[in-house]
Amino acid sequence: MGIRVLVATLCQPARQTAGRPKGYPPVGPGQFCREYLPAPEDYYTSHFGDAMRRSGKGWQVRCLFHDDRTPSATVYPDGGFHCHACGVHCRDVLDFHMRMTGLGFKQAAQALGAWGASQ
């Protein structure tokens, strides 16, 4: 099953769920919903702060995965991250969070609020 099919299956637009804004899909126990991941700019700003410099379609930052004295990494609007010096590449905010914290998929998704509460 492809990721798009999986996300579409898990994120069915339906009823309003308590605690979620109207129009957001419900997330049941043990379900991941990519739509609940934090906005990339907000998430990366919490890690890089004022050190994010607008550059083309994204932002230039100093890489947190190696001792970086000058900005060698790019954060993209879709949440991707790529360091041109050490080669670290993260597909999205979740992937970046997993690498930064060492957490597994489920634990990182829970930490970012994209995993439904367990019963």
* Interval 44-59: pLDDT, tens: 999 999 899 999 989 9
**How far apart are the C-alpha atoms of 103 and 98, rounded to whole Å?**
5
Q: pLDDT digit string (tens) for 72-117?
A: 999 999 999 999 999 999 999 999 999 999 999 999 999 999 987 5
Ordered strands of the 89-90 beta sheet? 53-55, 58-61, 73-75, 81-83, 89-90
Does the residue 65 lie in any domain?
A: yes
Between β-strands 89-90 and 58-61, what pairing exists: parallel, antiparallel or unpaired?
unpaired
Does the residue 116 lie in any domain?
A: no
Does the residue 18 lie in any domain?
A: yes
Q: Which domain holds residue 49?
A: 3-111
| Residue 57 pLDDT | 87
CATH number of residue 97's parent domain: 3.90.580.10
| Residue 27 or 108, more confident | 108
Question: What's the structural domain count of the chain?
Answer: 1
Given a contact cutoff of 8 angstroms between Cβ atoms, the answer to whether 31 and 9 are in contact is: no
H or E element that contains 74? strand 73-75
Confidence of residue 15 (pLDDT cuts 50, 70, 90): very low
